[in-house]
Amino acid sequence: MILTQEQEMIRDSMRAFAQERLAPFAAEWDRDHTFPAQALKELGELGALGMCVPEEWGGAGMDYMSLVLTLEEIAAGDGATSTIVSVQNSLPCGIINKYGTDAQKEEWLKPLARGEKLGCFCLTEPHTGSDASAITTRADRDGDSFVLNGVKHYITTGKYAQMAIVFAVTDKAAGKKGISCFLVPTATPGYSVARVERKMGQHASDTCQIVFDNCRVPATALLGKEGEGYKIALSNLEAGRIGIASQAVGMARSAFEAAVRYAKDRQTFGVPIIEHQAVNFRLADMATQLDAARLMVWRAAQLKDAGKPCLKEASMAKMFASEVAEKVCSDAIQIHGGCGYTDESPVERIARDVRVCQIYEGANDIQRLVIGRAIAAE
């Protein structure tokens, strides 16, 4: 696969930004749990927060191939920032663009796509993740409004977002078809951040438990029709998975590049360690795995851009990329030796950051289920 001139320019521009504005600060943000607000503002101005939203709604009007190139570069700069960017693009922007009315797009999509506001996606609950139909948060109609009650879990950007896309049960008897979707300003009374998780990695991105306690929103906050929530929740899956896959490639690439730099610099037995075959072959394997993962991501994105089905290909890319990324990061630590286990090198942080790519946006076990079912149905 060969990139077009525009795609190369997108990659180069985002690479320059990520290497100058994200990478030098990533370690500090991780250590201090700093939310990268300024960097996100700048990314919004570059058009990276609403990439696939049409220009008339404040977005960059670009395709998924451009999105994956951008996400890889951002992730190579800082994994946590790439998660915030990935969520903003695929979930709030992607979903409102697809299901929002013009009024909802005016109110929310424009500021989200421009990066003036951030959104979060409240689906998962303490007792249910992959089985989204089992949610219990309720939205009870009361005249011209809905009243939300329940608890949402592991919500990316839950603390810093200005708006939340919330899934809640409006008709318990209807099962999956009784779930609806709401656009909720996080300043609404009754929306509260109950806690911020202490995670293994990605410390610059907040992951929150959100409590809805008699959180009242007008009926106009309903996204799509009543009962369409489950469909909406599952509607942009491929895009989200392709995004996570490119993040995994980006993070692993930066660990790989750190390993190459170290191997050329570090000397043992009188030569740079890259000249030892054990190190050299390890780097060869890392580079090959990374390349294979990237090609799978690009193929899935190209299928999506061509309007072709890509559920299986997106799942394969997400699963493969996130698993080889863990391996590549682990190998990068090995090449660094003791230094790789300390915060002297960036690879211990990247290895922590990349691990969650196997879990969020559909755990890899779910990806295997999707791929396996597709094979059985072929």
Partner 1 sequence: MKILVPVKRVVDYNVKVRVKSDGSGVDTANVKMSMNPFDEIAVEEAVRLKEAGVATEVVAVSCGVGACQETLRTAMAIGADRGILVETDVDLQPLAVAKLLKALCDKEQPQVVICGKQAIDDDANQTGQMLSALMGWPQATFASKVAVSAGKATVTREIDGGLETLEISLPAVVSTDLRLNEPRYATLPNIMKAKKKPLETVKPADLGVDVTPRLTTIKVAEPAKRSAGVMVADVAQLVEKLKNEAKVL
- Burial label for 129, CB within 10 Å (0-12, 13-18, 19+), is middle
Alpha carbons 311 and 4: distance in angstroms, whole number = 25
- The answer to the question of residue 23 lying near partner 1 (CB under 8 A) is no
- The answer to the question of residue 2 lying near partner 1 (CB under 8 A) is no
- The answer to the question of residue 227 lying near partner 1 (CB under 8 A) is no
Alpha carbons 371 and 161: distance in angstroms, whole number = 33
Q: Segment contacting partner 1 (CB under 8 A): 1-9, 22-30, 191-199, 203-211?
A: 1-9
Shorter beta-carbon distance to partner 1: residue 62 or 347: 62
Shorter beta-carbon distance to partner 1: residue 3 or 219: 3
How many residues sit in the footprint of partner 1 (CB under 8 A)?
Answer: 21
The one catalytic residue in 107, 313, 348, 361 is 361
Residues in region 29-48 near partner 1 by CB under 8 A: 45-48
3-class state of residue 25 by DSSP: helix
* Contact assessment for residue 138 and residue 86, using Cβ atoms and an 8 Å cutoff: no
3-class state of residue 256 by DSSP: helix
- Burial label for 188, CB within 10 Å (0-12, 13-18, 19+), is middle
361 included as an active-site residue: yes
Provide the 10 A C-beta neighbour count for residue 251: 34
**Packing angle, helices 347-354 and 79-88, rounded to 10:** 30
- The answer to the question of residue 272 lying near partner 1 (CB under 8 A) is no
- The answer to the question of residue 10 lying near partner 1 (CB under 8 A) is yes
Residue 106, CA atoms < 13 Å, CB-side half-sphere:
3
Nearest approach, Cβ of 47 to partner 1 (angstroms)? 4
Minimal CA–CA distance to 68: which of 258, 305, 243? 243
- The answer to the question of residue 179 lying near partner 1 (CB under 8 A) is no
Nearest approach, Cβ of 11 to partner 1 (angstroms)? 10
- The answer to the question of residue 109 lying near partner 1 (CB under 8 A) is no
Residue 351 has phi, psi (to 5 degrees) of: -60, -35
- The answer to the question of residue 233 lying near partner 1 (CB under 8 A) is no
- The answer to the question of residue 164 lying near partner 1 (CB under 8 A) is no
Nearest approach, Cβ of 101 to partner 1 (angstroms)? 25
Residues in region 60-89 near partner 1 by CB under 8 A: 60-62, 66, 70
- The answer to the question of residue 194 lying near partner 1 (CB under 8 A) is no
Nearest approach, Cβ of 258 to partner 1 (angstroms)? 16
- The two structure tokens encoding residue 328: 């590549």
Binding region for partner 1 (CB under 8 A): 5-6, 8-10, 12-14, 16-17, 45-48, 51, 55, 60-62, 66, 70
The catalytic residues are: 361
